[in-house]
Structure 1
C-alpha cells in the first residue's frame, strides 16, 4: 500500500469505541495524524483551528446536528476546500436521508459494517484522484483560475481516466470567472459525448446566469425527466420559475424536492420564503419551523430564521406562537448586534399586530440602531425593516436605513431600487426626498472625478464613476460623465479593448434611455475619433 503517513484525518463520531476502531484501521495504513470530534460543533471548532486532508464522519451524531447538516455548514461557510476528502460513514437505511447526504457531494459514502480493507481502499482511491488534480488545485488556491483552466486542459490529455472530471472542473472555473458563454459551450461539448446529469445542471446554470430563463427551464425539466433524484436541479428550477414570475410553480418544485430530501436547511428556508410570498402561510409556517428546529444545534444559527417564522405567525394572527418564538430566540441565541436586531424586529412585528403602536415604534427604532452595528444581516431583512418602519410612520428611520443600504456596496441595492421601495409603498414624498439625496451624491461623485481628471489621474476618475454606475446604472448624469472619462483615458493612455467595449455599452445604454440626450452625438463622435486614432475600424 502507498505511504499515506502524511495525511491528517479528523474522525467525527460520538462513539469512543468507534473512533478507536477507526483510529486502529487508519494506523494499519501508517496514518497517525488523527484528531477526534464527538459532535458537529466540536468538528467545526477543530476545522477552524487546522485543515485536514480527510474527514471521516458518522451520519448519526446523536443529539444536535447530523453528518449531513455538518457537511452543509462546512460547504456553505467554506470551512473546507473543495478538495478536502469527506467520507460519510453510516448504517442509516432511510432512503430520504441517504439521498440528502449524497446531494451534498461527499467524496464517498460508506455503509456500515465495513472492513479495514474497504475503508482504506476508499481513502486510497480518493487520495489518488486528489493527487492527479493537485496542480490545478494549487492554482485555484493561489487565485489563478486562468492557470488552473490551462492545467485542466493539459491534464485531460495526460489522464484519460479523469478526463471527464477535468472537463467538469474547467467548465466550473469558466463559470466562476463569469465567462458564462464559454462555460456553456464547454458543457455542451461534454454533453455531446457524455449525457451526464452534472453537465446538464452546469449548462442550465450558465443559461440562468445569462438570463436565458426559458432555455434553463427546458434544460432542467429534461434533466429531471431522466433523473428525478438530482436534487440541485430542483433548486435551480425553482429559481428559474421565480425569475419568470412563476411563484406557484416554484413552490410546487420546492415541495417536490423536500418530499424527496427533507433535511436540507437551505431548501426548507427557500420553500418558506416562496410560500410566504405566494400567501401560503401554512406551508411557510411549516417550513420555517423545520428550519429553526434543524438549525438549532448549528454553530451558524441564523437569527433571521426566527424573524421569518415570527413574521409568518403574525400574518397568520397567532400571537401566542409568535411570542414563544421570540422567547426561544432570547433564551437560545447568544447576544450580538445581529441577534438584538432580529429580536427587536420580531418584537416590533408582534407589537404592531397587537395594536401597541408606541411599543412597536420603540422596538423598531431599537432594531434600526442595532442594524447599524450588525454584520452579515441580509438585504431582504433590512428592506423588510424599512417597510415595517413605514407602516407605523417612522419615516426618518426608514429613509436613513434605505440610504445606508444604497451606499453599502455589498447590499446589491441600487439608487433606483431605493427610490422604488418608497414608490411601491405609496410614499412619493419619501421617494422624492431619496431622489434629492441621490442627486447630491451623484454630483459629489462627478465633482470628485473631475478633480481626479484635472490632476491627470484618469484611471482613478474612471474607477470613481464606475463605482457610481454600479449603484445607479441608469443615471443620466453619471452615464455621460463616465463615458467621457473613459474616452479621455483611451485617447490619452492608449486603446484598451475591455474599456472600449464598456464605453460602447454605456453609449448604447444612453441611446436606449434617452435617444435625444444632448451629449450623445458628441460622445459618439469622440468615440469614433479615438477608434480612428488607433487604427480601429469604424462600423458605419
Structure 2
C-alpha cells in the first residue's frame, strides 16, 4: 500500500511515541509499517487490554491506535475508558479506534468516550494516514496546555486556552470547549457558563446547552436544567450525556418514574455503559420495577467484569432483586462473591445489610433479625459512619427487624449531618413513615436540623462580625459534633481561608482546611465549591513559597 501523503508532510512525527493495540499480530505489523513509512521511530505494541493499560501507565504516548476486540480481558472501549479515568492520556493525545466492529451498541458506547476517530476495517494505509494527519493537526493546539494539565493546574490550563485561541482561530471552538471543562474542574462555574454562552451566541451547539444545564443543576435549578436538556435530546437524540443529567434533574425533583424512563431510553440507545446500567437498576429497584432492575444489574455485571467502573453496587442490587423473587440461593452466592472481589471498608457492612433485606423480603424473619443484631454489633464497633445511602438502608433494615434504638440514633445522626439536604431529609422521613413512626420521625428531623443550623450559624456570625479566631475555634467544635456535615465542613474551610488571608499564611491552618475539604470530597465527590476552594489553598501555598524564595 502507498500512503496518500508523503513522509515529508509529517516532519515532527518521527520523534513521537506510538502505541498499537490489537490482538492480531498481522494487523499490528501492518500499522507499524504504515507508521514507519512516516519515519516514526518509537512504536510500541500491545496484544491485550491489560498489556495496553500497563504500557499507558508507564509511557505518555502521543498517538494510540486501538482495536475494539482484544481477545480475553478488556476490550478497546474499556481501555480508553480506563485511560481517561486514570488520566493516562493528555489533551493532545490522539486516540483512534481502528476496528471491524460496526454494531450500533459498540459504536455508540465507544463514541460516548470521545475517541478522536473511529475507523472501520478494512482500511487502506492512505485513509489511515490522512485521518491521522487531520486529527494530529487539530490536537496540536492543546500542546502548550499539556504541562499545566499534568500538574492539575486547571486554572492555568484554562488561561492557556485563551492564548491558543488568539493564535488558532480555526480551532477556537475546540479550545473553548476545553476551557469550559477546565473551568468546571476548578470550580469556576460562572466563568464556564460565560464560555458556553459565548459559544451559543454563534451557534446552538448541544454540548454548550448541556454544559449550562449541568451548571444550573448543580446550582439547585433542576427544572431549568430539565427544560434545557429535553431540548438538547429533542434536537440530538444521540447526545447521551444529556440523558444522564436529565435523569439526575428528575430525581432531584423527586420524579423518579420520569428519571427511570429517561435512563431506560438511554440504555436502549447505548447499552454498553456500566454506570448508566447500574443507575437504571438502582432506580428501578427503588420503584419496584424488578424485571427492568434485574436486566440492568445483570448487564452491568457483564459489562463491568473488565471495566475500571466495576463496583459492588450491581452485585448488591441484584442480590436484593433475587431476594424479592425468593431466589435466596443466588442472592447469597452474590453476597459471597462481592465480599471476595471487593475489599473496601464498607463492603462487609453493606453485605450484611443486603443479607438481612434478602431474608426479610423472602419471608425468613428469624434470619433477618439475626442479620439485624449482627449489624447492630458491627455499628457499635465502628466509630465512623458510612455514606448516607448506606445509613438509610441500614436504618430500613434495623427498623424492619425491630432494632429500633440503633436505627433512630442512626437517622438522627444522618439528619444532623445533612440538615440542608431536602432530598435526603425527605428519604429519612419516608423511612420513619414506613415504620409507622411518622410523628416521632418529624420531631427528630426538626430538632436535629435546628441543632445543626444553630451550631453552624453561630460560627458564621462570629466570622461575619470579624471575630475570626473565635469563629475558627467554634467551627472546630462544630466539625467534631457534626463530622459528616458538608455545609459545616465547607464553612469551616472558608473561615480558615479568610483567617489566612487576613493574618498571613499558616501551614497548619491551611492543612486543617485542606483536610476538611478532602473529607467533603470523600462524602460527595465532584462539588464545584471543593475545586474552587482547593484551588485557592494551592494558590496561597504557591505565593507563600515564592515569597520565601525571593
Which bracket does the TM-score occupy, shorter chain normalised?
0.7 to 0.9
Q: 1:464 to 1:127 in 2, by over 3 A?
A: farther
In structure 1, how many angstroms separate the alpha carbons of the residues matched to 2:375 and 2:37?
57
Match of 1:164 among 141, 158, 173: 173
- Asked whether 1:425 is paired with 2:412, we answer no
Partner of 1:239: 248
What SS does the aligned partner of 1:193 have?
A: coil
What SS does the aligned partner of 1:109 have?
A: strand
In structure 1, how many angstroms separate the alpha carbons of the residues matched to 2:451 and 2:225?
39
**RMSD across aligned positions (CA):** 4.5
Partner of 1:57: 66
Kindly state the Cα deviation for residue 305 of structure 1 after the two structures are TM-superposed: 1.4
In terms of mean alpha carbon deviation, does 244-253 or 295-304 score higher? 295-304
In terms of mean alpha carbon deviation, does 57-66 or 245-254 score higher? 57-66
Pairs within 5 Å for 1:105-504: 105-298=114-307, 301-326=310-335, 328-329=337-338, 333=341, 337=345, 339-357=347-365, 359-360=367-368, 363=371, 379-394=388-403, 398=407, 413=418, 424-426=430-432, 428=440, 457=469, 460-461=472-473, 464=476
* Aligned partners of 2:274 and 2:309 also within 8 Å: no
* Per-residue Cα deviation, 1:23-76 (whole angstroms, up to 9, x for no partner): 332333333433333333333333334443333221122344432233333334
* Aligned partners of 1:311 and 1:346 also within 8 Å: yes
In structure 2, how many angstroms separate the alpha carbons of the residues matched to 1:269 and 1:404?
28
In structure 2, how many angstroms separate the alpha carbons of the residues matched to 1:23 and 1:373?
56
TM-score (norm 1): 0.74
* Aligned partners of 1:37 and 1:43 also within 8 Å: yes
In structure 2, how many angstroms separate the alpha carbons of the residues matched to 1:432 and 1:237?
33
In structure 2, how many angstroms separate the alpha carbons of the residues matched to 1:216 and 1:445?
30
* Aligned partners of 1:14 and 1:62 also within 8 Å: yes
* Aligned partners of 1:60 and 1:67 also within 8 Å: yes
* Aligned partners of 1:303 and 1:342 also within 8 Å: no
In structure 2, how many angstroms separate the alpha carbons of the residues matched to 1:234 and 1:288?
19
What SS does the aligned partner of 2:305 have?
A: coil
Q: 1:466 to 1:324 in 2, by over 3 A?
A: closer
Kindly state the Cα deviation for residue 191 of structure 1 after the two structures are TM-superposed: 1.1
Partner of 1:72: 81
* Per-residue Cα deviation, 1:464-496 (whole angstroms, up to 9, x for no partner): 378588955889xx99x98xx89x9699869xx
* Aligned partners of 2:392 and 2:428 also within 8 Å: no
Pairs within 5 Å for 1:90-109: 90-109=99-118
Pairs within 5 Å for 1:21-40: 21-40=30-49
* Aligned partners of 1:342 and 1:367 also within 8 Å: no
* Aligned partners of 1:419 and 1:434 also within 8 Å: no
Kindly state the Cα deviation for residue 104 of structure 1 after the two structures are TM-superposed: 1.4
- Asked whether 1:43 is paired with 2:56, we answer no
**Number of aligned pairs?**
480
Query: Larger relative contact order (C-alpha < 8 A, sep ≥ 6)?
Result: 2
In structure 1, how many angstroms separate the alpha carbons of the residues matched to 2:453 and 2:211?
40
What SS does the aligned partner of 2:15 have?
A: coil
In structure 2, how many angstroms separate the alpha carbons of the residues matched to 1:2 and 1:389?
69
What SS does the aligned partner of 1:59 have?
A: coil
* Aligned partners of 2:455 and 2:478 also within 8 Å: no
* Per-residue Cα deviation, 1:444-480 (whole angstroms, up to 9, x for no partner): 9989x99xx9x995684476378588955889xx99x
Q: 1:13 to 1:473 in 2, by over 3 A?
A: closer
Kindly state the Cα deviation for residue 326 of structure 1 after the two structures are TM-superposed: 3.5
Structure 2 spans left out of the alignment, 5+ residues: 1-9, 505-550
In structure 1, how many angstroms separate the alpha carbons of the residues matched to 2:414 and 2:20?
43
What SS does the aligned partner of 1:175 have?
A: helix
Kindly state the Cα deviation for residue 210 of structure 1 after the two structures are TM-superposed: 2.1
Partner of 2:527: none
Partner of 1:498: none
In structure 2, how many angstroms separate the alpha carbons of the residues matched to 1:323 and 1:165?
50
In structure 2, how many angstroms separate the alpha carbons of the residues matched to 1:46 and 1:342?
35
Q: 1:23 to 1:258 in 2, by over 3 A?
A: same
* Per-residue Cα deviation, 1:230-273 (whole angstroms, up to 9, x for no partner): 11111111111222222111111111111111111111111112
Q: 1:146 to 1:52 in 2, by over 3 A?
A: same
Structure 1 spans left out of the alignment, 5+ residues: 495-540
Q: 1:101 to 1:420 in 2, by over 3 A?
A: closer
* Aligned partners of 1:340 and 1:370 also within 8 Å: no
